Amino acid sequence: MSVLKTPLSLVSVACAMVSASAFAQDSSLSNPNISAVLDGYYQTGDRGLDGRGEGFGLGETELAISANIDDMFYGKMTAILAMHDDETEVELEEAFIQTMGLGAGFDIRAGRFLSDVGYLNNQHPHSDAFVDRPGAYRAFMGGHYFDDGVRLTYVAPTELFWTMGVEVFKGNKMRAAEVGEEHDDHDVHGMEEEHAERDYKTIGVYSAFTKLGGDIGTSSSWQLGLSYLRNENGMGFIEEDHDHEPHIEEEHDHGGHNHNAAFTGENTYIADFVYKWAPDGNYKYQHLTLSGEYFRVTDIFSFEEHDHDILSTEKSDDYHEGWYVSGVYQFTPHWSAGLRYGEVDTHEVHGDHLHGQNLKETELSLAWHHSHFSTVRLQYTNQKGTNFDGFEDDNIITLQYVMTLGAHGAHQF
């Protein structure tokens, strides 16, 4: 990951993104959509699971460029800049091409892009109605999961909206931490071993999803989704040390800027729903959005069959889970209010047992939208954590602004 230390570096990145030599003479290429999103805040405490920190700070500053490449392909690139340990980090979040009307309802996307599992994941965080993603996303998806890979989608020719797709990814951001075993004595081959390096698979993540939706009269619409993510590198290894006590070395970053999943497993199941209401379908003046998601991450630890008695726990406890429900009501063209509640339950190995961890978050937000391009948000968060390191039970106040410069595509449903 690169680090920018001078304003000139930021200018260089922006200039590289809009270089005229990169485009042909077609009008859609010589006039691409170029935008930047500015996210700043002040917060009275630290949020758990890689949430925002106390004091003044910057969220993700987004630089994006997109255009039709020709009548067959569309392309987009998005760079993200964020503060971490008083340094500016830059990461390429999106760099993909996508077919436009491949035929028979099929389309292909290739490169680096946001996975389409779940409801929120394929949307950029600045479009959210709350300061941070729900705890389940921060725990299991690194906030929002993007990766290098390819996606095939199909939209069925049905009266209801029905789409389905499959994805294949590199999977680096979803890997379990590299673990090993330290020895005081020589191993069986007479050589001292300090760390067992893990052999990760180069293609690590496979996913499949389907979404079904429709209208209820002229004022309401709905969508349901089911997703499955197979993480070939997601299981943490449990081993016995020289004292015959189980251990697992997993380095979870519970604070600061991080896009890697904090808690992983071999299988992740996601169910999501969203319901929207607006008088006569006119969202400009008044609308209500209800949504929720449930995550279950299974097969989180790996050990030999004869070592199942290492842990004093039932195999059925070998999973993480999390969920949230959210309601956001825009009651005038310029004001909206939101309420969200979520929980995360995870497990880590401590001694001869699994150590249960729990996070509960209740969030209330009030936002002022002067236009589609500017938002100022005041949010109250009550967080209660059990056995999590790095944060405390707290009542947190956050004041945030999100401002968009330039052309910016419409947000998804």
pLDDT of residue 354: 74
Q: What is the DSSP letter of 243?
A: T
| Confidence class for position 239, pLDDT limits 50, 70, 90 | low
Share of the chain above pLDDT 90, in %: 62
| Structure confidence at residue 7 as a pLDDT band (50, 70, 90) | very low
Among candidate residues 208, 153, 130, the one with its CA nearest the CA of residue 400: 130
- The Cα–Cα gap between 184 and 56 comes to 46
Q: Which residue has 């996601």 as its token pair?
A: 270
Per-residue pLDDT, 198: 75
Mean pLDDT of the chain: 83
* Range in 186-190, 242-246, 340-344 the model is least confident about: 186-190
Q: How far apart are CA 362 and CA 367, in angstroms?
A: 17
Domain boundaries, the chain: 104-406
Predicted pLDDT at 327: 98
Decide which of 399 and 257 is more confident: 399
- φ, ψ for residue 186, nearest 5 deg: -75, 155
- Is pLDDT of 188 > 50? no
Architecture of domain 104-406: Beta Barrel (2.40)
pLDDT in tens, 251-282: 444 334 457 899 999 999 999 999 999 998 88
Chain centroid to CA 185: 43
DSSP three-state, residue 64: strand
Question: pLDDT for 289-299, tens place per residue?
Answer: 999 999 999 99
- The residues near 301 (Cβ < 8 Å, ≥ 6 apart) are 235, 236, 237, 238, 248, 318, 349
Count CB neighbours of 282 within 10 A: 11
Triad 330, 212, 66: Cα angle to 5°: 70
